[in-house]
């Protein structure tokens, strides 16, 4: 009769010893992030491709001959997308919490494809505005993408690297998009032997770059439908016929035993394995926790891996109740700073091509330095496209190499605050680059590009990390990022409108720096607000609380002692019961 209890105690001690062993961290989810990047790449190409020619497109509509009004109308075209995105961003975020991330992402890409085709055929300003607005209302991917990345990454140390993926993709799009837009716009003027006068390319001179953008969108849509896997904590267990078709096609193209197909295979008991693993073996820390934790479950795989308690894709979290309050004070403060960041960076992104395209006055009559002067660079679409492409190339380098290292040293919060304090000087100095001698102007433009890109590539990922870490639960990430995306879209919409209006007034009054100095004052306010951000204990810190159960009465051992094998059988039972209560 004494043999049974002795074996039970031995088994419990053996299980506790296995649980106390430090497990290896889960691998970086590079495969699904790569697929997500291939889906994302089409959107920055489509968005950024219009910047080199939007000024000339509005001018060709023959609405006005006033150069200052053309700048204002160009700002309207840019803002119509983000303003419509503001109206729908929150709804798409909420919808992704209900139906999953993948359907919303695919719908957004489809809306972008429809938008660029209509924009290419736009014969007038109202049609162009409608096409851009349609793309914004159908595309809520900005917030949903951040949510998807947040659900893929379950280790805090992976965040600096993971949150540079989407900015790098945007940088690649910033290289390809302006290059395509600047090169393919008005093909009749550049290659009349291929694109003959009087053809469709002459009637719609900006159709060709938009057709290229549409092809990129179709590619991203196909990759997403076939290979992108759901990350929602509850919806990812549904059957995905698109992924099944992708596996079937890869098996037909590459054979049943090829390495590529093995990496796409997913078993029912290891559904999350392709998101994070590189081999066919299931990762215990990412498995579903079936049933309630029991005393005898210490030998199971759930107790062997620490991430089963904090993984964003776990059924344990899916079954738990949502916190009562979604938008806590730290989250609200981070979103406000995100909106201000979007406002002034979009002001610079949209107004800089206009500033570069503005024709020089050729005279200095009425100038009164250091504040009263009005001039432009007078670059054509191809030159502006090359400048913006180099901007994207440098942004990619800065995001890849500088941000992870600086974030690891300073932390996301301190880095964001430092960047916020650096922006006012950038905007105050921007208009003075036009005063450089002609031989130094191009060098000055590239100095300005490097300066602005360095700050932007540090600010956006650090803000995204702060927002994700502050979320009480991944079940709320879609809503939180949806609201953040809506606020940012509104600010991005207001940026070009306000800046275009102020730029117009400034040129008329002889102060081309008016809009830049106004933006500098906005960034001064944003820098003060950045010091109101706190980095609260979020879902990545919940594990520490779980691993620190309240000791039983009369027992003063620490948590680490509680999971070590000890001699007294009652102590083992009490501590295991306490751990089980914490898991429940």
pLDDT tens digit string along 78-113? Answer: 778 878 888 887 788 888 888 888 999 999 899 999
Question: What is the tens place of the pLDDT at every residue in 489-534?
Answer: 788 878 877 887 888 888 888 888 888 999 999 999 999 988 888 7
More confident residue, 572 or 350: 350
pLDDT of residue 567: 42
Q: How far apart are CA 114 and CA 108, in angstroms?
A: 10
Lowest mean pLDDT among 270-274, 285-289, 470-474, 479-483: 285-289
**How much is the pLDDT for 265?**
52
- pLDDT at position 341 is 93
Query: What does the alpha-carbon distance between residue 73 and residue 414 come to, in Å, rounded to a whole number?
Result: 38
- How confident is residue 549, by pLDDT bands cut at 50, 70 and 90? very low
Question: In the chain, what are the domains?
Answer: 30-233+324-539 (1.20.1250.20), 547-584 (no CATH)
Does pLDDT of 269 surpass 80? no
> Is 296 a residue whose pLDDT tops 80?
no
Q: For residues 398 and 453, is the Cβ–Cβ distance under 8 A?
A: yes
Q: What is the rounded average pLDDT of the residues 348-353?
A: 85
Q: What is the pLDDT averaged over residues 474-491?
A: 80
pLDDT at 548: 39
pLDDT at 427 over 90: yes
Least confident of 108-117, 121-130, 470-479: 470-479
Q: Are the CB atoms for 387 and 51 separated by under 8 Å?
A: no
Answer for the pair 498, 347: CB distance below 8 angstroms, yes or no: yes
Residue 4: pLDDT band (50, 70, 90) is: low
180-190 average pLDDT score: 86
According to the model, what pLDDT value does residue 465 have?
Answer: 85
* Range in 99-113, 305-319, 501-515, 538-552 the model is least confident about: 305-319
Report yes or no: 274 and 283 within 8 Å, Cβ to Cβ.
no
Confidence at residue 538, expressed as pLDDT on a 0 to 100 scale: 52
Question: What is residue 259's predicted lDDT score, i.e. its pLDDT?
Answer: 54
What pLDDT was estimated at residue 22? 55
pLDDT band per the 50, 70, 90 thresholds, residue 21: low
CA torsion angle for 450, 453, 454, 460 (degrees, to 10)? Answer: 180
The distance in angstroms from the start CA to the end CA of the chain is 33
Give the per-residue pLDDT at 211. Answer: 92
CA separation (Å) from 428 to 448, 518, 521? 12, 9, 9
Query: What is the structure's pLDDT at 347?
Result: 87
User: In this structure, are residues 500 and 513 in contact, taking their beta carbons and an 8 Å threshold?
Assistant: no
Question: What is the predicted pLDDT for the residue at 225?
Answer: 92
413: which residues sit within 8 A by CB, 6+ positions away? 462, 466, 533, 534, 535
Task: State the Cα–Cα distance between residues 197 and 325, nearest whole angstrom.
Answer: 62
Rg (CA), the chain: 27
Q: For 155-172, what is the mean pLDDT?
A: 79
Q: 298 with 16: CB under 8 angstroms?
A: yes
Among candidate residues 449, 427, 450, 457, the one with its CA nearest the CA of residue 522:
427
Residue 118's pLDDT band (boundaries 50, 70, 90)? very high
**Confidence at residue 257, expressed as pLDDT on a 0 to 100 scale:** 57
Statement: residue 272 has pLDDT above 50: no
Average pLDDT over residues 127-142: 87
- Taking the C-alpha atoms of residue 354 and residue 338, their distance in angstroms, rounded to an integer, is 25
DSSP 388-455: HHHHHHHHHHIIIIIHHHHHHHH-HHHHHHHHHHHHHHHHHHGGGGGGS-HHHHHHHHHHHHHHHHHH
pTM of this structure: 0.63
Q: What backbone phi and psi angles, to 5 degrees, belong to 372?
A: -95, 105
pLDDT band, very low/low/confident/very high, at 583 (cuts 50, 70, 90): very low
What is the tens place of the pLDDT at every residue in 216-236?
A: 899 999 998 999 888 887 888
Q: For the chain, what percent of residues have pLDDT higher than 70? A: 74
């Amino acid at each position: 009769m004494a043999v049974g209890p002795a074996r039970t105690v031995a088994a419990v001690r053996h299980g506790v010893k296995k649980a106390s062993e430090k497990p290896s961290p889960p691998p970086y989810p590079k495969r699904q992030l790569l697929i997500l990047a291939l889906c994302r790449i089409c959107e920055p190409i489509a968005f950024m491709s219009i910047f080199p020619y939007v000024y000339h497109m509005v001018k060709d509509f023959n609405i006005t001959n006033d150069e200052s009004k053309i700048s204002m109308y160009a700002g309207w075209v840019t803002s119509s997308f983000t303003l419509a995105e503001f109206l729908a961003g929150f709804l798409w975020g909420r919808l992704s919490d209900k139906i999953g991330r993948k359907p919303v992402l695919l719908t957004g890409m489809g809306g972008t494809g429809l938008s660029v085709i209509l924009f290419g055929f736009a014969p007038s300003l109202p049609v162009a505005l409608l096409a851009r607005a349609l793309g914004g209302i159908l595309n809520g991917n900005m917030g949903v993408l951040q949510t998807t990345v947040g659900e893929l990454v379950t280790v805090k140390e992976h965040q600096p690297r993971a949150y540079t993926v989407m900015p790098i993709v945007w940088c690649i799009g910033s290289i390809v998009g302006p290059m395509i837009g600047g090169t393919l716009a008005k093909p009749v003027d550049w290659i009349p032997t291929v694109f003959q006068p009087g053809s469709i390319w002459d009637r719609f001179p900006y159709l060709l770059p938009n057709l290229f953008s549409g092809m990129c969108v179709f590619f991203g849509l196909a990759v997403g439908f076939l290979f992108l896997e759901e990350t929602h904590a509850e919806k990812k267990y549904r059957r995905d016929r698109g992924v099944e078709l992708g596996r079937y096609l890869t098996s037909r193209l590459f054979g049943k035993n090829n390495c590529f197909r093995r990496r796409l295979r997913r078993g029912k008991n290891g559904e999350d394995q392709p998101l994070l693993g590189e081999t066919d073996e299931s990762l215990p820390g990412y498995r579903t926790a079936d049933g309630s934790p029991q005393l005898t479950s210490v030998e199971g795989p759930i107790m062997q891996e620490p991430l089963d308690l904090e993984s964003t894709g776990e059924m344990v979290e899916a079954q738990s109740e949502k916190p009562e309050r979604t938008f806590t004070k730290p989250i609200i403060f981070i979103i406000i700073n995100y909106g201000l960041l979007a406002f002034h960076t979009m002001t610079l992104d949209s107004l800089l091509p206009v500033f570069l395209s503005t024709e020089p006055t050729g005279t200095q009559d009425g100038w009164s330095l250091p504040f009263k002067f009005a001039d432009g660079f007078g670059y054509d679409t191809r030159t502006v496209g090359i400048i913006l492409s180099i901007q994207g190339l440098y942004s990619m380098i800065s995001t890849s190499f500088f941000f992870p290292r600086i974030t690891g040293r300073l932390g996301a919060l301190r880095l964001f605050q430092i960047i916020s304090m650096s922006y006012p000087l950038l905007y105050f100095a921007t208009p003075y680059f036009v005063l450089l001698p002609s031989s130094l102007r191009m060098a000055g433009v590239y100095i300005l590009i490097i300066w602005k890109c360095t700050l932007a590539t540090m600010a956006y990922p650090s803000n995204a990390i702060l927002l994700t870490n502050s979320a009480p639960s991944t079940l709320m990430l879609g809503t939180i990022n949806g609201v953040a995306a809506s606020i940012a879209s509104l600010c991005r919409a207001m940026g070009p409108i306000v800046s275009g209006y102020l730029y117009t007034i400034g040129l008329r009054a002889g102060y081309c720096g008016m809009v830049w100095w106004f933006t500098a004052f906005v960034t001064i306010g944003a820098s003060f607000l950045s010091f109101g951000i706190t980095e609260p204990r979020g879902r990545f810190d919940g594990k520490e609380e779980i691993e620190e159960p309240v000791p039983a009465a009369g027992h003063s051992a620490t948590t680490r002692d509680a999971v070590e094998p000890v001699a007294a059988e009652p102590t083992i039972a009490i501590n295991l019961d306490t751990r089980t209560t914490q898991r429940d």
